[in-house]
Amino acid sequence: MWGLILLEVYLHSHCLSALENLALGRPVWEDQRWKGKKNFTGDKAVDGLYTKRTAAGGQCVKTYKYARTATWRVDLGAVVSISHINIYYMTDNRPLQGDSTSRMAGFFLYVSNTTTKEDGHLCFHEIQKFNGTPSEDQRINCTVHGRYVFYYNERLPNVTYPSYYSTYAFYDLCELEVYGCSNAGYYGSNCNIPCPKNCQERRCDVNTGHCLGCVPGYVGPTCSQVCPDQMYGQSCSFPCGNCSKGETCHNVNGTCLYGCNVGAQGEQCKIECPQGFYGRDCVYNCSENCNVIRRCDRFTGKCEGGCKEGWTGTTCYQKQTQASLSCDNNNICVISIVVSVVIVLTGSVVNYIYCKKNTAARTSHKRYTEESVTESVTPRQTNRPEDNSEPYTELQDVGKPNTYEDLHTYSN
């Protein structure tokens, strides 16, 4: 049983010894220094002695009388990594809480990198949820980095305080210990593990190694996660600009790696094209052929107010032809062209049909003429006196009309 207790005490002491008391023997400052003959100066709170916690014991600080505010401060010599702060207040060696703790009630504990507490971090403000004075022994977790530790209390005029508060402000400290690592870039029980590389100022929680803040472009407990797409910067809180093709930007500085989309310019593509320019990275000039000179849409280059006379196209860089110049209304132009084409085609078809008919008639007339001529030649040969052939006589006997006469009649 006793062996187990001794082991626990040893382990506890061993862990505490690894995190040194960074306030021990350090210089202090106080604004309500004791003015009597007795030695109640502020350095008593960092001398390592607090077994005699009475005013007469010589191991505690005592505040001068009738102060409305009371501030005590210790300089740790450099920015350090703090784990926790122990406070041992004056008790007058009484077993029960008394007047001393009423003086302690409502105190503030700050850590700062400057000699001004308001520049720093409020680690603790003692506020009781129920009426009653606080404990004279306090262990306050305060995992921050800083150089100066402030103990501050106040009893301001025209402010109503709980009944158990003292009338005036005090800092009657017997000891104030600050445990942590003197090298702010390390953590662990032996202060020998480097903080993660993406921790802001390479600072992390002295106990867990979690970053107290991340460098721009990273998030997560150890700042190992890159910003999500379309976000960048400190805590990944800034949206990317109008990067080309919707690409995400650089996670740290927001630079668009492949340039800007149309209508934007700048490294982060957050600047709109100035008047007179358009397109990707705003490299194109609006046309001087715009009705409103060099005024156009920053995305498309379309001229404001249309084009000057003689120019056409979205960006007014195309010269108009004579035909297009004589036609102010596009719909009328289209209708006129269609009607003209229809008339030409109709005329062509009619002409084609007419030609086909004439050709057919001439062909028929020619064939008929040739046949008639052939028939008329044969009778003239049979009418010669020396021709007494029998077929001619037979034809005459039949009494057919004369072929020559028929031909003569057709020709007339």
What pLDDT score was predicted for residue 344? 73
Question: Quick check: is 350 in a domain?
Answer: yes
Helix, strand, coil share (%) of the chain residues, nearest 5: 30, 25, 50
Residue 323 CA to residue 74 CA, distance in Å, equals 92
Tell me, what amino acid is at 169? A
> Rounded mean pLDDT of 315-337?
66
Report residue 220's pLDDT band, with 50, 70 and 90 as the boundaries: very high
| Locus of tokens 């992390």 | 204
Instruction: Indicate the pairing of strand 145-154 with strand 69-89.
Output: antiparallel
Residue 58 CA to residue 68 CA, distance in Å, equals 25
Instruction: Indicate the pairing of strand 238-239 with strand 231-232.
Output: antiparallel
Question: Quick check: is 250 in a domain?
Answer: no
Question: Quick check: is 189 in a domain?
Answer: no
Per residue in 99-152, pLDDT (tens digit) is: 678 899 999 999 999 999 999 999 999 987 655 678 889 999 999 999 999 999
State the alpha helices, DSSP H only, in 286-389.
322-325, 330-382
Is 286 a residue whose pLDDT tops 70?
A: yes
- Which tokens sit at 148? 């100066």
Is 10 a residue whose pLDDT tops 70?
A: no
Question: Quick check: is 296 in a domain?
Answer: yes
* CATH number where 104 lies: 2.60.120.260
Residue 42 CA to residue 27 CA, distance in Å, equals 9
Q: Are residues 173 and 317 in the same domain?
A: no
Residue 274 CA to residue 265 CA, distance in Å, equals 9
Residue 285 CA to residue 16 CA, distance in Å, equals 71
Q: How many CB atoms lie within 10 A of CB 64?
A: 16
Q: Are residues 49 and 165 in the same domain?
A: yes
Which of residues 149, 184, 219 is at a domain's end? 184
- Which tokens sit at 204? 């992390």
Closest CA to 82 of 180, 154, 167: 180
What pLDDT score was predicted for residue 374? 45
Question: Quick check: is 226 in a domain?
Answer: no
Question: Quick check: is 110 in a domain?
Answer: yes
What pLDDT score was predicted for residue 8? 41
In sequence order, the β-bridge partners of residue 21 are 179
Q: Are residues 167 and 101 in the same domain?
A: yes
Mean pLDDT is lowest, of 44-53, 268-277, 355-364, for 355-364
Tell me, what amino acid is at 272? E
Closest CA to 42 of 180, 151, 155, 165: 151
Q: Are residues 286 and 372 in the same domain?
A: no
Q: Are residues 32 and 144 in the same domain?
A: yes
Q: Quote the mean pLDDT of the chain.
A: 81
**260 and 241 Cβ atoms separated by less than 8 Å:** yes
Residue 132 CA to residue 162 CA, distance in Å, equals 9
Closest CA to 64 of 28, 30, 101: 30
Q: Are residues 289 and 410 in the same domain?
A: no
Please give the model's pTM, rounded to 2 decimal places: 0.62
Question: Quick check: is 228 in a domain?
Answer: no
**261 and 242 Cβ atoms separated by less than 8 Å:** yes
Residue 151 CA to residue 81 CA, distance in Å, equals 18
> Rounded mean pLDDT of 2-27?
62
Q: Which residues contact 133 (CB under 8 A, 6 or more apart)?
A: 97, 101, 102, 104, 105, 164
Q: Which residues contact 328 (CB under 8 A, 6 or more apart)?
A: none
- Which tokens sit at 396? 């005459």
What pLDDT score was predicted for residue 331? 58
Q: Are residues 284 and 180 in the same domain?
A: no
Is 39 a residue whose pLDDT tops 60?
A: yes
> Rounded mean pLDDT of 234-260?
94
* DSSP assignment of 116-141: -GGGSEEEEE---SSSSPPPSEEEEE
| Locus of tokens 């008790």 | 91
> Rounded mean pLDDT of 366-375?
50
Q: Are residues 372 and 306 in the same domain?
A: no
**DSSP 8-state class, residue 298:** T
Closest CA to 80 of 21, 160, 1: 21
Q: Are residues 347 and 315 in the same domain?
A: no
- Residue 340 CB-density burial (10 A; 0-12 exposed, 13-18 middle, 19+ buried): exposed
Mean pLDDT is lowest, of 144-153, 213-222, 244-253, 320-329, for 320-329
Q: Are residues 346 and 279 in the same domain?
A: no
Q: Are residues 30 and 129 in the same domain?
A: yes
Residue 131 CA to residue 151 CA, distance in Å, equals 22
What pLDDT score was predicted for residue 375? 47
Which of residues 263, 297, 326 is at a domain's end? 326
- Which tokens sit at 221? 């407990």
State the total domains in the chain: 3
Q: Which residues contact 404 (CB under 8 A, 6 or more apart)?
A: 376, 379, 380
Q: Are residues 25 and 103 in the same domain?
A: yes
> Rounded mean pLDDT of 69-87?
97
What pLDDT score was predicted for residue 393? 37
Which of residues 305, 326, 347 is at a domain's end? 326
**DSSP 8-state class, residue 96:** S
Question: Quick check: is 244 in a domain?
Answer: no
The range of the structural domain enclosing residue 343 comes to 338-376+399-412
SS3 74: strand
Write phi, then psi, for 267 (nearest 5 degrees).
-60, -35
Q: Which residues contact 323 (CB under 8 A, 6 or more apart)?
A: 333
Residue 42 CA to residue 31 CA, distance in Å, equals 10
